Amino acid sequence: MSTIIIGKNSFLATHLNKRDGAVEWEFLTHSEALDRPNDLKDAKIIVNCAFHPDLHTDPYEVDKDCDFAIASLIQNSGTHYVMMSSRMVYGPAPFDLVLREDAPLEPDTQYGKNKLKIEQALQGVLPDKHLTILRMSNIFGFEPNRSSFFGHMITALKNEGEIRFDIAPDSQRDFLSVWAWADHVDRILRAPEGGVYNIGSGFGTSPQELADILIKHAGGGKVVYTDKRVDGQFVLDVRKGMRTFGLTPYTQMDLLTDVEKVAELSMENQINK
């Protein structure tokens, strides 16, 4: 019985592959996984990091649902399935900005709507005890040219010398580094439990704080605010996952250290080119 990680070339899976425990895991692309249904049924745990790019912005299509395709193959096997979902399934955060697992699910983006449909599709074919859904915050790392919060900052600072935001400087969002995320997933895979769990830092950070660190290490640059919207703020309540899996708390100091790591990697990348 094995642990299979699907989406081996994805941002998330490549960081899981750097874990010490990864020598015991098998990494496959989505197409490779579909070609090996018997291996999927025999697996102890499957973690899916694959996601069809069209589902970031286009309406849901079951033929593009990587999770459902895999889940359909293992639905009677006893294999434990771990899905990477998103805080976007909740929609706008309440007044206190805190999103809890039992909050109403009212996604207001196509990506959030698609992730919710995928969650529901999996819940329809897999037993609750064999399905773990991780609703993740903003997972960041060194990710130039990715269409993500940090990808935007890294690329804009390098190419234009400035980072442009259309959100308020003091707006709050939950960020967790990909290195801490990999630590969490590693821990979860040791003794997976069915259910829905928020995975994030559990505290808010402003975009200005993050940009300041990148600019400092870049030796210059500036932040330009084209708008000062306050929508989109959120903080994940991560206590359920921390209790269930014994996850190591992620602190503000950890966050600052990891953002500095991103900045250092960005500088090294520019020097080596």
Mean pLDDT of 107-131: 98
Number of neighbours of residue 124 by Cβ within 10 angstroms = 10
* Cβ(113)–Cβ(86) below 8 Å: no
For the segment 203-233, what is each residue's pLDDT rounded down to a tens digit?
Answer: 999 999 999 999 998 888 999 999 989 889 9
Is it the case that residue 26 has pLDDT exceeding 70?
yes
Per-residue pLDDT band for 93 (boundaries 50, 70, 90) equals very high
To the nearest 10°, report the CA torsion of 136, 164, 167, 260: 50
Give the per-residue pLDDT at 144.
87
Q: Hey, what CATH topology would domain 140-175+201-236+250-273 get?
A: UDP-galactose 4-epimerase; domain 1 (3.90.25)
How far is the C-alpha of 19 from the C-alpha of 25, rounded, in Å? 10
Average of per-residue pLDDT values in the chain? 94
Q: Minimum mean pLDDT among 59-68, 126-135, 143-152: which range?
A: 143-152
Mean pLDDT of 253-259: 96
Domain boundaries, the chain: 1-136, 140-175+201-236+250-273
For the segment 258-273, what is each residue's pLDDT rounded down to a tens digit?
Answer: 999 999 998 877 645 5
How far is the C-alpha of 149 from the C-alpha of 163, rounded, in Å? 11
Report the run of H or E that residue 138 belongs to, with start and end: strand 138-140
Q: Which of 18, 70, 9, 29 is nearest to 178 (CA)?
A: 18
What per-residue string of b and e applies to 179-214 under the rule 16 or more CB within 10 Å gives b? Answer: bbbbbbbeebbeebeeebbbbbbbebbbbbbbbebb
CATH of domain 1-136: 3.40.50.720
Question: With DSSP H G I counted as helix, E B as strand and the rest as coil, what are the percentages for the chain, rounded to 5?
Answer: 45, 20, 35
For the segment 29-61, what is each residue's pLDDT rounded down to a tens digit?
Answer: 999 999 999 999 999 999 999 999 999 999 999
How far is the C-alpha of 93 from the C-alpha of 106, rounded, in Å? 10
